[in-house]
Amino acid sequence: MSFPQYATLLVEHRNDHVLHVTLNRPEVLNAINTQMGEDTLDLWTRLTARPGALRCVVLTGSGDRAFCAGGDLKERDGMTNEAWRAQHEIFERMFVTLLDCPIPVIAAVNGHAFGGGCEMVLGCDFVYAARTARFALSETKLGIMPGTGGTQTLARAVGERRAKELIFSARPFSADEAYEWGMVNRVCEPAALLDEAFATADAIAANAPLSIRQAKKSIHHGLQGDLLTGYRFEIEAYNRLVTTEDRIEGVLAFNEKRKADFKGR
């Protein structure tokens, strides 16, 4: 699968199944400006519409200081209300397409993830963080509030009361704290961060892609309602997989004691 050359992103194929995406504005700590919003929206839209052979994405930031420092406040300086809302609509669509992306996305947080950068992390499926990483939803210091999913995703990750504390106080918190609360899957030494993220991505890519996509949908759907409704959705997803070529290949490979060769069909 090919992608355009983005002004604010580096997009590289690690192999046929794993994509490496880097937020690439290191001179401003990878802050999100309008162009980055448009670039990431385009990327997630393409991946959602036609994932092709891709089975996992690793998302990180350029440099070792920041994953993403949040919105670019210099660009926003002097913006009219109308311009601010127009820009934020792009950011809103970017967040929704990230959540809708059928391919698992691993955030490899190499440094600070503040404001919208933290919300981007929270929109990913897994979070691996360098031990030096720090997080904050700092919008209340700016007269706004999290507006790209932060109030929803943080509460789901760490619970209602802790989410309120972190959002209302806007205080930064460490990778170790985030791990303790369940927001981060793994804390890594900085030099090992990408290696560990790619190892997990490769392990995911070895499994049946349709199974993973249906499981992701089922988990997301289940979090929106009651247990029985979620279970019914799961059964429908399961039954769709029964008719796939990959289901036949998986059982055959197990009985032949070999590695399965999944095709996504």
160 is catalytic: no
Active-site residue (options: 139, 196, 234, 245):
139
Contact (Cβ atoms closer than 8 angstroms) between residue 137 and residue 168? no
Active-site residue (options: 82, 89, 119, 236):
119
119 is catalytic: yes
d(CA 125, CA 121): 9
Residues annotated catalytic, as ranges: 119, 139
